[in-house]
Structure 1
Amino acid sequence: MKDDRFSAIRQMLYASGASSIQEIADAVGASPATIRRDLQVMEQEGAVTRTRGGARIADSVGIEVAFQHRERQNLPAKRAIAELAFQKVVPHSAIFLDAGTTVLQLARCIRLDPMPLSVFTNCIVVAQVLMDVAGIKLTLIGGALRAENASMVGALAEAMLERLWFDQLFLGAGALSDDCCIYSLDEAEARLNEKMLARASAKALLIDSSKFGKRLPYRVAPVTPDLQVLTDEDLAPDWRARLAEAGSAPVLAPVAGGQP
């Protein structure tokens, strides 16, 4: 029960920012006295920073919670897209799985229904999901750790990609903007994603419909006819037409509880 309460407090502080003891107590259904004791323990563990009359989440823990939060966003759509992508995985091939949260769902599909594969990834969490799966030969590329999504990036990771070639690439994206280009929140990640696209025979972009029409700071690459866009059925009609004009008509995954 205490672990569940601690988790609820971390989630609440991540979502709400600095909060008072009473606000935390109301959110997690505990007494203010219990919350005071919890916050004292959590501060000793480095999970929160106490403030006058309340607390905020510690920066390092905020990164972990942020990853968990992103993974849960639009989860039904991400799972539907991952199941669609799984149908396109070719047994006995060499595939690259990047560090996107939708790609992570694909890794979980592979774990549930494994096949002989050589899997390369720059994502520590993807590697953890697949590291003990029979028939999977797993390679985690090296580099500098980007804690926000547990990925390896930077010059060393880019140099390793130059020595590799993949039958299939499954790439995630932070945003797909009105210029029909993929964008990333991180410069090093954007450079590495661009390298991935240059090192694969077949390329698939796994991106849920909520990320269309948005722009992040760093451009990765444009959508081209050799990049297959896998998304969910909630994609707006104008985006479907725009991608078709770019030569990459999207493949739409039905979402449980979504459109018929």
Structure 2
Amino acid sequence: MSATDSPERSRPAQRQVEIAEHVLQHGSVSATELAEMFHVSLMTIHRDLDELERQGVVRKFRGGVSAQPSSVFESNVSFRLRAAREEKLALARQARALIEPGMAVMLDDSTTTLEVARLLEDDAGPLTVITNFLETIKLLSGVRGVRLLALGGEYYPTHDSFLGVPCVEAIEALRVDLLFASTSAVSGGYAYHQEQEIVLVKRAMIRAAQRSVLMVDHTKLGRAALHRLAPLREFDLVITDAKAPEETLSEMREHGVRYDIA
């Protein structure tokens, strides 16, 4: 990850997202290194780190910072909404081409599939969309031509979505043409996620879909999380972006995984 000193990058909220991503990728880093990377003062970096520590994303120690074992960043929707926006949009455009009028399409609670929903706002045609993500529900609630089914369950504010047994049971009563899903980590031919509640819902979604598509930008490749979600070969297609490392793509080919580059 690289930093620039453009006005957009210098905004504290965006800078904190990038700091969190960098710390998660490297495990720990010094405050001095971060100050040099983002072209800001050491005092500014410490303010950023104080805010990230307050939110439970990182843990400060003398002279530096490390990632919290819980990887709150990967769960917190406010962070995920700002991360890898360009890559997510590229994946969404690729995914949108797979959607045909009359389909029943399920979208999980990822900010990646939220970008797919944004592309349905205009001229979606007759379409049924099923989701447990409140942001997607609000986005599509007034879109002409979209029949919207909201999956219930227990509301989790951190994810801004509905999870738990009621959500799984609602999914199990459905059969959809196409599922678009994302996850926090991919490695060794498997998709992973750090939270079991999310894993259970995503597995139910895979079972409910005739075809399933996994959308993962390059920042999620070559990483692992606590819970194994599913083998990549269970997805009919994996969509990633042009920055995906060749090592990971080669690994996918070895496991017989079909993938497209957005």
SS at match of 2:261: strand
Checking the alignment, whether the CA contact within 8 Å between 2:214 and 2:235 is kept in structure 1 is no
> Which residue of structure 2 aligns with residue 100 of structure 1?
110
Aligned residues: 215
TM-score, normalized by length of structure 2?
0.72
Describe the superposition over 1:71-107 as per-residue Cα deviations: whole angstroms up to 9, x where unpaired. Answer: 2211111100000000111211101000111101111
Describe the superposition over 1:230-254 as per-residue Cα deviations: whole angstroms up to 9, x where unpaired. Answer: 110111112212212222231001x
- Supply the distance in 1 between the matched residues of 2:183 and 2:121 (Cα, whole angstroms): 22
- Structure 2 unaligned segments of length 5 or more: list them: 1-10, 21-39, 45-49, 57-71
SS at match of 1:251: strand
> Which residue of structure 1 aligns with residue 186 of structure 2?
176
Map 1:1-260 to 2 at 5 A: 66-177=76-187, 179-224=188-233, 226-253=235-262
- Supply the distance in 2 between the matched residues of 1:84 and 1:13 (Cα, whole angstroms): 29
Please tell me the root mean square deviation across aligned C-alpha atoms, in Å: 3.2
Checking the alignment, whether the CA contact within 8 Å between 1:82 and 1:105 is kept in structure 2 is yes
> Which residue of structure 2 aligns with residue 36 of structure 1?
none
- Supply the distance in 2 between the matched residues of 1:167 and 1:194 (Cα, whole angstroms): 16
Shift of 1:116: 1.4
Checking the alignment, whether the CA contact within 8 Å between 1:10 and 1:57 is kept in structure 2 is no
Q: What residue identity is the alignment partner of 1:79? A: L
- Supply the distance in 2 between the matched residues of 1:84 and 1:145 (Cα, whole angstroms): 30
Percent identity, aligned pairs only, is 25
Q: What residue identity is the alignment partner of 2:201? A: L
Describe the superposition over 1:198-254 as per-residue Cα deviations: whole angstroms up to 9, x where unpaired. Answer: 11001100110110111111111111165200110111112212212222231001x
Which of structures 1 and 2 has the bigger CA Rg? Answer: 1
- Supply the distance in 2 between the matched residues of 1:78 and 1:201 (Cα, whole angstroms): 24
> Which residue of structure 1 aligns with residue 62 of structure 2?
none
- Structure 1 unaligned segments of length 5 or more: list them: 1-7, 18-22, 28-50, 254-260
Describe the superposition over 1:169-195 as per-residue Cα deviations: whole angstroms up to 9, x where unpaired. Answer: 001111112x21111121111011111
- Supply the distance in 2 between the matched residues of 1:141 and 1:114 (Cα, whole angstroms): 21
TM-score, normalized by length of structure 1?
0.73
Q: What residue identity is the alignment partner of 1:143? A: G
> Which residue of structure 1 aligns with residue 23 of structure 2?
none
